[in-house]
Amino acid sequence: MTAPPSLLTDTQVEILRHVAAGLTAEEIGRRTHRATATVHGHLQTAYHRLGARNAANAVALALAAGLIEPPTPQADMETDRA
């Protein structure tokens, strides 16, 4: 699947980057100063727009479409400290 860059909002892309780094919705909410329910809402919309079944599928599709980059080891270390 090749998704157009405008398929997702900047916020949805940001949240998917955090999901790709292994953060939970609660952790993403704390980092981005959003309610957990808001994070879930952005994720559900992103899943729908990507045609994804779950978080792993959404990350895989976003990576394949070039919407997000693979997480770096540094990002993984930051996730562990969150």
Going residue by residue through the chain (82 aa), what tens digit of pLDDT does each one get?
A: 455 556 899 999 999 999 999 999 999 999 999 999 999 999 999 999 999 999 999 999 999 999 999 988 765 445 555 5
Give the pLDDT score at 6: 67
Q: Specify the pLDDT at position 81.
A: 52
Q: Does some domain include residue 48?
A: yes
CB atoms within 10 A of CB 1: 11
What pLDDT sits at residue 20? 96
Which domain does 22 fall in, by range? 5-68
| Within-domain flag for 77 | no
Between helix 36-50 and helix 10-20 the angle, nearest 10°, is: 100
Query: What is the per-residue pLDDT for 73?
Result: 73
* Cα 55 to chain centroid, rounded: 8
* Count of domains observed in the chain: 1
Q: What is the CATH number of the domain that holds 22?
A: 1.10.10.10
Q: Is residue 78 included in any domain, yes or no?
A: no
**Considering the domain boundaries, does residue 75 fall inside one?**
no
Token pair recorded at residue 81: 């400290």
What is the value of pTM for the model shown? 0.80
| Buried/exposed code over 44-77 (b: 16+ C-beta within 10 A; e: otherwise) | eebbeebebeebeebbebbeebebbeebeeebee
